[in-house]
Amino acid sequence: MITLNKRQKDIINFLESKDEYVTIDCIAKFFEVSSRTIRNDLDSIEDLIKESNIILERKPRVGIKLILKNGQDIQEVINEQDYKVYSSDDRITVIILSLIIKGKVTIEELAKDVDVSKNTLVQDFKLVTAKLEEYDIQVSKKTYYGITIKDNEEKIRNVFFSIYSKLSDELKHDIKERLTQETNLKDSVIKEKIEKIEKNIGTVYSEESIEELEIIILLSINRYNNNFKIDYSEREKNSLIRRREFSVLKEILSLDDLEICYLLKISDGSRRAVGGKVNNITQEILDELCKTLNIDCSNDLEFTSQIAMHLKVAIHRIKNNLVIENPMLEEIKYKMSFIYQITETILSSKEDIIGVKFPEEEIAYMAMYFDAIFERNIKSKFTYKILLVCNGGLATSSLLKVRIGAMLPELEIKNVCRLKDLDKELENTDIDFIVSTIPVKADKYKVIKVNPLLDNSDVDKIKTEIYNKRYEKNCEYLIDLVKSDNESEIIKLLPQDVTQLDVDIDDWKEAIEIATKPLVNKNKITKDYSKEIIKVIENLGNYMVFIPKVAFVHATPDNVLENSMALLTLKSEIQFGSKNKVPVKAMVVLANKTENMNLVNLLEIITKGDNIEKFKNAANYDEIKSIT
């Protein structure tokens, strides 16, 4: 059920009162929040009104406008969803955070907070207690007194931030409103204090860090007011008090010394360096990366500096048990799987030296840096070869050739031919795809039909294919780099009881269901694994098809019981995916519970010579066994 928070409803009323378009920056300024927050709010509003006669029109470089059709009353739409219903999981989360915010609370108060009966709340509280036990936090219930949680205060606050960081935007707003009400502090007041801190200590926080610091400050004030106070050893306290930033925070926030020490320690996670040795470790990491990827980044000093600063902040956060949130984690693991694997290997080799265990969220952030430097260094190694098919005269083909050269310099035009000569050209020319001014069918190659004058939409189509080819070439390059020293026979990787060959299916979702069945039957995965794979493909696209016509399908390890793989080959190609569909002839199911080399070992075998053709067209297991 879609529910709007108070600010989102106020935004609707604000837009309804305007006859003209209003920019996002203008709305953000009016409501004293970031532009990013407003964009998220507008997405929620759009989801709510999409089935009504109301349009939220967004015009780039113009602004936003609410358009009502057929006398529709926007207030009716708002009122229909005013009654907020929490899901069971959300209730557990809200109850835990309410316990931390209020300090002491009764069952009746909690039931009112999440709008359920006392009996339902009592059942929910069993799950609340179990969840808190996962963090080694005990709940205390006393008759005529209420419910409290008692533990190390810094630990309790860190649990709050750990849970809060994983909430939806809507729930985050809900919890922030609760904190604001409890502390009786306006959002704008906290923002002003953070701006003063930035100015006085000479730093600039990112939007994400500002939002994080707002919550940190609000919770600190809230817990302090409820008499839950931070405690540090004299040594740690004196170490923090001596820092210049201490007096700045003390003056601006007017809290006691230990609370300022806590805020200083926490805010370091958004900004501060943790020591000179990280610079040396950063250089070691980059040297190892360059060696692994066979690239040179020795002259990219700015990039080295950025990675060093990021690592310093990350190490500080990890050492102090502060949450590292990466909303793109799963997307990075799927879209940059080989870079992620390389990053994980390099970072894990430095963990003993640094004294931290890198969480996968941080590995994913570092993978983004590594992918950027890889792309920057590798792009010159690859060219994209095309065959130009044009039935027009010399003038037409010459003009098209010149325009492609000017607008898409990364393309290498191998030749220009007429349709009648196409088959002969394809026999003798090594190309990546075909660009044609006329309809063409070519079984082995993607054909992009363009206007002879090459308009902007044609350029966009070609760029999309270049991007796809670059992804394929990058993967092929990385596959070669991460090959295992121990080659595994294909029959060990894909035994006969997990292979299904020459199956007649025409739906990609059904194909995934069938491909995963052998692993379900062998108790390697749960039956829900196929649903998770489908969800990933629908959300992230076709990044699993990095070898033409072979999909390497996988999902998170939650439904994996044991490392395993399965193979499905199809009688005929099917269109794979929900967005930008691609042809697929074979599917490899990857199920990884722990890090392993199964995929790399398989790729090492099937990418040799013409093995990939044998692999995806195999009609019986003898043909699979013959692949060496």
pTM score, two decimals? 0.54
- Residue 102 CA to residue 105 CA, distance in Å, equals 6
Q: Is the pLDDT of residue 484 over 70?
A: no
CATH tag, 277-379: 1.10.1790.10
Nearest to 494 by CA among 333, 613, 338, 606: 606
Average pLDDT, the chain: 83
Q: Is the pLDDT of residue 487 over 50?
A: no
CATH tag, 490-625: 3.40.930.10
Q: Are strands 564-576 and 582-591 parallel, antiparallel or unpaired?
A: antiparallel
Q: Which fold has domain 6-80?
A: Arc Repressor Mutant, subunit A (1.10.10)
Cβ(218)–Cβ(225) below 8 Å: no
Joined together, the tokens standing for residue 303 give 């990039």
The pLDDT of residue 8 is 81
Q: Do domains 382-479 and 490-625 have the same CATH topology?
A: no
Alpha carbon of 207 to those of 186, 210, 452: distances in Å?
18, 5, 46
Identify the H or E element spanning 507: none
> Any idea where the domains of the chain sit in the sequence?
6-80, 88-271, 277-379, 382-479, 490-625
Cβ(426)–Cβ(445) below 8 Å: yes
- Quick one: average pLDDT of 484-497? 73
The pLDDT of residue 511 is 92
C-alpha radius of gyration, the chain, whole number: 29
Joined together, the tokens standing for residue 138 give 């005990």
Identify the H or E element spanning 415: strand 411-417
Nearest to 601 by CA among 497, 510, 479, 516: 479
The pLDDT of residue 520 is 92
152-189 pLDDT per residue, tens: 888 898 888 888 887 887 788 888 888 888 888 877 78
pLDDT level of residue 272 (50, 70, 90 thresholds): very low
pLDDT level of residue 411 (50, 70, 90 thresholds): confident
Nearest to 322 by CA among 288, 292, 362: 362
Provide the strand spans (E) within 476-526.
499-503
518-571 pLDDT per residue, tens: 999 999 999 999 999 998 888 887 778 878 888 888 888 888 998 899 999 999
Nearest to 446 by CA among 387, 508, 396: 387
Q: Which fold has domain 382-479?
A: Rossmann fold (3.40.50)
Nearest to 415 by CA among 394, 429, 405: 429
The pLDDT of residue 521 is 92
The pLDDT of residue 275 is 45
DSSP string, 130-147: HHHHHTT-EEEEETTTEE
